[in-house]
Structure 1
């Protein structure tokens, strides 16, 4: 039985805790050998960042080298103000790693790993808004940008809040096999498991840093229906403008045409399917291309000049 100890602190983010906890809990209900333990240094209950009071145990379980301590993140405009573990829990992190145990973090939980001295010389990541600060605060750490999670000699770190789910599924796949991880993912209504090198900021998020409402409305439609054959006029009518106005607004807002944005979404989804075993042809058909030729051309083009998409080629 692998114990997953999750130390909590005041202002902890609920999803940082609940996402991985559901992964390991669901895996256990399906027969996997995981047990969950929620602990804290001080008196319970403590308040989460969202206001829900939590009542973790104040006594830690006896941990074996094969067990995992997973540190969630907390409210964090900056790392300097981030919720973090107390001295007792930091000492437990150090001791557990020293005897061969694994430690993991979600989002700003990487700050606690850094304070415990566990990031020096290790690849790691955190929320995209905190990565530069993490690198400055711990200059010996090898902070990796725009990935979902990293693993380096027993140190596992994940990026923004929901990526803790991806990291937990990765651990389940390692210990119980990909089939078990896939069953858990399906039960959580996740379309596919993503690997650690998947971009933290997908096209759906990367191109939303603007204030043009009509473009956001068009993106909403494309995000939902990117597999379909959508004509520019159809999209424009749906958002209440002319095709010419929509094209001009798209270019001003994100530097892409609506068609190129749709291709980006298709390409990212196809990349994920291929990474999980689909053939080029099957992935192309699944995302709306007629066959694999267009997908091959897009992958080749973005491998040569990825500047307008941010898509990684594999």
Structure 2
């Protein structure tokens, strides 16, 4: 069971909170072991939009490295000297990361991560209107501009408001694979999913901005089995259409990719992720289904050029 703890403060933006909460609760409904808790320094938390919320003042006692803390943003952070959290709450956030856990923020929630000492020397982002303030307050942070989210050593930060959904889908893809993240997004009717600056997830997040259910079903299959040999005839039979029809539907929905090119793109991006984490080209090629490492080298060369 993975515990997702959302840390609330007065003035919290509802969508900053609701986006991640919906993603992980949907993942739980689809069979993943997630449990959500809402904590704060006080039991009643008035949102920026006027809706009162309830929070627990006692933190879950059994948080471990697999659990996740999420700090949603709040209204008008620039008018206050710092995040409206107690030192005790900031210390809990820092301690969770020190124990091997992941800490994430949405929008101005990055200010709390900075106050907890988690942004020093790390890449981070926030809402575009708050980036200058974040960089000024935390000069050792590496503020990345114009991206939806960043991840650096289990510190994950996202831009404003709706980007918390993109961040949460990215975390699901990293934990359970792109197919599960795609399933959650489809359940939420979030077809136009957007990628942050992590290229290994971009194909899944970039080529789903359509409403063709036949193509989504084939993408789900390819996402799950991208390392296996999949012929166009097999895919067409799964969709109960002819190979020609499937190719036509797929290229129209994805903006020009054939099913096999889509599979190849998934393989390439997964291989890039493995190589970035220390794998050799030969090992990465084998892991993603290329029988000849030279094919992977050629694809990487084309992408680089």
**Superposition map of 1:247-258 within 5 A:** none
* Equivalent position of 1:134 in the other structure: 134
TM-superposition CA deviations, 1:55-99 (whole Å, max 9, x none)? 111111021111111100000262746753222210101111111
Could you tell me the TM-score, scaled by structure 2's length? 0.65
1:75 aligns with 2:75: yes
Deviation string 1:23-61 (CA, Å, 9 cap, x unpaired) is 00000010112110101112x212110110111111110
CA distance in 1, matches of 2:208, 2:52: 42
The partner residue of 2:206 within 267, 272, 282 is: 272
TM-aligned CA distance change 1:282 to 1:11, over 3 Å = same
Alignment match, 1:28: 28
Secondary structure class of the residue paired with 2:183: helix
Who is 2:47 aligned against? 48
Q: For residue 89 of structure 2, what is the aligned residue in structure 1?
A: 89
Match in the other structure for 2:252: 285
List gaps (5 residues or longer) in structure 1: 199-268, 292-312
- The 1:81–1:189 alpha-carbon spacing in structure 2 relative to 1, beyond 3 Å, is farther
- In structure 2, the gaps of 5 or more residues are 210-218, 224-247, 259-303
1:193-217, Cα deviation, whole Å (9 max, x unpaired): 322128xxxxxxxxxxxxxxxxxxx
**Structure 1 residue 282: Cα displacement:** 8.0
SS at match of 2:16: helix
Task: Give the whole-Å Cα distance in 1 for the aligned partners of 2:124 and 2:16.
Answer: 17
Q: Deviations over 1:115-136 (max 9, x none)?
A: 1111000000000111111111
Is the CA contact 1:82–1:108 (under 8 Å) kept in the aligned structure 2? no
Distance 1:79-1:170 versus aligned 2 partners, 3 A rule = farther
Aligned residue-pair number:
222
CA contact (8 A) 2:77 2:83 kept: no
Q: Distance in 1 between matches of 2:157 and 2:76?
A: 16
Deviation at 1:152, TM superposition (A): 0.2
